[in-house]
């Protein structure tokens, strides 16, 4: 499973997506669509297998895979020069916003709807 996640979220060919939050969100949606096409049923199987495993190792592996994605998204959020200086506070951190964005991406997978327009608009209104 780790190799599939690695393929889906491999380092982008165009590294500029890692400097711009909107470009990164678009890329994440494209990658999840790619993952659904290349690995049909992977996301459903992946989440069900971890829910059924009551082992510390299974939970650790799931947490590690998702945490890596969240960490990279936080790097992008903090690197994006267009983000308003007051966009993040102690009550609303870059980490929390990354979790919101990742939740939207995961929701897109469940719905099989890979149009990022709502996530992009939320990002624009929140950050810029």
Rounded Cα distance, 21 and 4, in Å: 24
The count of residues in the chain is: 128
Question: How far does the chain reach from its first CA to its final CA, in angstroms?
Answer: 36
pLDDT at 22: 97
3-state secondary structure of 80: coil
- Looking at per-residue confidence, does 119 or 52 come out higher? 119
pLDDT at 59: 67
Q: What is the pLDDT of residues 22-79, one digit of tens each?
A: 999 999 999 889 888 888 877 665 554 555 555 666 667 667 778 888 999 999 999 9
Tokens of 48: 């069900």
Residues 80/19, Cβ–Cβ less than 8 Å: yes
Residues above pLDDT 70, as percent of the chain: 76
Look at residue 110 and tell me whether its pLDDT is greater than 90. no
> Region 90-100: what's the mean pLDDT?
97
Give the 3-state secondary structure of 7-41.
HHCCCCCCHHHHCCHHHHHHHHHHHHHHHHHHCCC
């Amino acid at each position: 499973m780790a190799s599939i996640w690695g393929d889906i979220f491999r380092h982008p060919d165009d590294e500029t997506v890692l400097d711009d939050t909107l470009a990164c969100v678009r890329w994440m949606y494209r990658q999840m669509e790619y993952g659904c096409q290349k690995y049909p049923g992977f996301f459903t199987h992946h989440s069900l297998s971890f829910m059924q495993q009551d082992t510390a190792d299974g939970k650790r592996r799931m947490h590690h895979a998702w945490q890596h994605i969240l960490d990279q998204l936080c790097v992008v959020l903090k690197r994006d020069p267009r983000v308003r200086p007051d966009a993040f506070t102690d009550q609303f951190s870059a980490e929390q916003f990354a979790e919101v964005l990742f939740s939207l991406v995961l929701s897109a997978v469940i719905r099989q709807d890979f149009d990022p327009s709502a996530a992009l608009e939320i990002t624009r209104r929140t950050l810029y």
